[in-house]
Amino acid sequence: QQAQQQAPMQHPPPGQPPPPGHPMPMMGMPPQPHMMHHMHHMHMMQAAQQQQHMAMMHAQHSQMQQMEMKKKQEDDRRRRIDEEKRKREEEKRKREEEARRKQNEEKAVRNIMQVVQKLRVATPENFDELKKELEDTLAKELPVAGNSSARMKDEADKGLAAAQKCIEMINARRKLVEDKRREMEAKQKALEDRARSLLEELQGLVTSAEEQSRRLAEVSKPLGGIPKKAPA
């Protein structure tokens, strides 16, 4: 019994404190077989725990990599969606701007051509007013006429030149008509003056003949009057 009570104590694995109630092993004492088995078992458990920990860390790392990759893919997908949306909106904006530009250009062309057409049939009475209207319209519409601005300026110049030529022709015709009217009035007045002169001359002759006849009658009274011609 004393030998059993004095059985050698178990030593903890190296690097670990002894369990409660166990004294520290004596320095220089060789480890016992059962202690070696216990130490080997502890080492195996530690290795298993370390492997399990490493596997867990690797799994967590892989999971984090997958999550990061998934997040990157999602970010790339959203970025592509946003980029495509931005491109569509930009293309839509450009189409709308182009449509507005063409609409404004067509409106400017119509406004200029309307004034040019009115100017082409201008009269001397409204030419200056229409010319001023064309100048104001060109100043307002040419900046938004775009590619048609040069053509519209050329059309306006041609219309103005044609209108001026037309006005000159109208004025020339009016002058001819006025000159003809004055010539006819002058001829009419000359005819009237001549007729009046002839009438006055005729009246003078009639008056003179009457006066001569009266005088002849007075002269023939002492002679018994003018003998009457015997009937045949």
pLDDT tens for 96-122 read 999 999 999 999 999 999 999 999 999
Any domain includes 132: yes
User: Would you place residue 217 in the very low, low, confident or very high pLDDT band (cuts 50, 70, 90)?
Assistant: confident
b/e burial code for range 12-29 (CB count within 10 A of at least 16 → b): beeeeeeeeeeeebeeee
Stronger pLDDT, 143 or 13, i.e. the higher one: 143
CA 144 to CA 104: how far, in whole Å?
A: 7
**Are the beta carbons of 124 and 168 closer than 8 angstroms?**
no
Mean pLDDT of 133-162: 93
**Are the beta carbons of 143 and 187 closer than 8 angstroms?**
no
Query: Nearest-CA neighbor of 157 among 110, 108, 115?
Result: 115
Task: Determine the length of the chain.
Answer: 232
CA 232 to CA 212: how far, in whole Å?
A: 28
Any domain includes 208: no
pLDDT, tens digit (0-9, with 9 covering 90-100), for 180-195: 999 999 999 999 999 9
CA 149 to CA 177: how far, in whole Å?
A: 41
Q: Which of 33-42, 146-155, 160-169 has the least mean pLDDT? A: 33-42
User: Would you place residue 7 in the very low, low, confident or very high pLDDT band (cuts 50, 70, 90)?
Assistant: very low
Mean pLDDT of 27-54: 75
Residue 212 has pLDDT above 50, yes or no: yes
Mean pLDDT of 167-177: 94
As for how many domains the chain has, the answer is 1
State the pLDDT at residue 1.
39
Any domain includes 43: no
CA 32 to CA 45: how far, in whole Å?
A: 20
- Helix (H) or strand (E) holding 10, with range, is none
CA dihedral 172, 174, 176, 178 (to 10 degrees): -140
Structure tokens at 37: 């088995």
Any domain includes 83: yes
Radius of gyration of the chain (CA): 68
Residue 10 has pLDDT above 80, yes or no: no
pTM of the model: 0.50
CB contact set of 13 (below 8 Å; sequence gap of 6+): 38, 39, 42, 43
Range of the domain at 147: 59-198
Any domain includes 185: yes
Write the DSSP symbol of residue 146.
G
Any domain includes 166: yes
Any domain includes 118: yes
State the pLDDT at residue 3.
41
CA 66 to CA 97: how far, in whole Å?
A: 45
Any domain includes 213: no
